[in-house]
Structure 1
Amino acid sequence: MIHLARIATLGAAVSLSACGSTEPPATPSPSTTTGGNAPAVDHTQMTVEPDTASALSLRCGNAVADLHSTGPTSAQASFTLPGEPAHALAIPEALAGYSALGMGCTTAADGTSFLVVQYGELPYGCQFCEWYALYDSQGQLLTQNTPALLGEGEQRQPNNQQYEALLAQHGLQHPAMEFAGQ
């Protein structure tokens, strides 16, 4: 299983409480409050990088992938090949309703580039929501992440089995991920 040490956000603070949570933590400690209108965040659980107009552009092979905020709780990844218009990357069906959080690029031994997009939940996130989707050099989705979660209760984890199998099949390494606002 792949774990990242941090989750970045697009225009909102993230609380790693539970998937589907729509409320900020109920009783923040004094050390977790923030100035302005931002919700209180427990910084012992995560790294927060708020940014109201986040954007990320990443060259992957001969294409450019972009990540941009589409609202306070959503972000979309797009893909542009030379001489072609940009198109939105397909989101794995099981992850409908989740947002693109970060991107990375990995290259096979034969030089073929693959784009990796990390999906999660904005604005609050969760402790076990790090889904990875793999896209080929033309921007076609290769993974489905179905079902979205594996296991029950405390043992739940994101379904990245197909992603991990494709990494192994193509001799790829999980890339360093880049997040908007970094």
Structure 2
Amino acid sequence: MNTKTKLLAVALTAFALFMAVQSNAQSVQKGKLRFGIGADGLLPVGNFSKSANFGLGITPRLQYGIANNVALTFTTGFYHFFPKDQLYTDGTTSYKYKWDMDLIPVKAGIKAFVTSNIYVSAEAGIGFQVDNGGGDSKFMASGGAGYATKHWDFGVRYENFAGNGYRNELIGLRVAYGFGL
């Protein structure tokens, strides 16, 4: 992401959080815990789209209300990406192979409601790669928006994860069912 895009993303997030703090929405109860389990559709973008067709994920999320319209979040789960066929040439022979990637995200974030049902969110954390022996970890950051009711949460997000010289980007769609604890 270039510098102008990062600055625009930060400015929009700050504006949305400011608006959320100013609103009188009662979307999150202060001091209350909520738990939700989501199914994610993951669409690779940028260079990542050259090696992966799409991904699926499952993401449990714990949410704690710090104000009546702002919550802290903790999200984990599992992402699986379905690879495209890749061609590798060693100079004399060409080989087809499939790159594989499974990731366990561990992220903390904030969710701020701008109306009683519409929210903006931001998360950051670490993704642990578990395929092919694992061992690789990636810094993860995301920003998104969504619509939540008493039990359902529909969200869209841009997510970036980078490590060991690689940067992958995706657009994620999450549908979750949640309840109070």
Task: Tell me, yes or no, whether TM beats 0.5.
Answer: no
Which structure is higher in strand share? 2
The structure whose Rg is larger is: 2
Task: Flag the structure with more relative contact order, 1 or 2, with Cα contacts below 8 A and sequence separation at least 6.
Answer: 1
Q: TM-score, normalised by structure 2?
A: 0.35
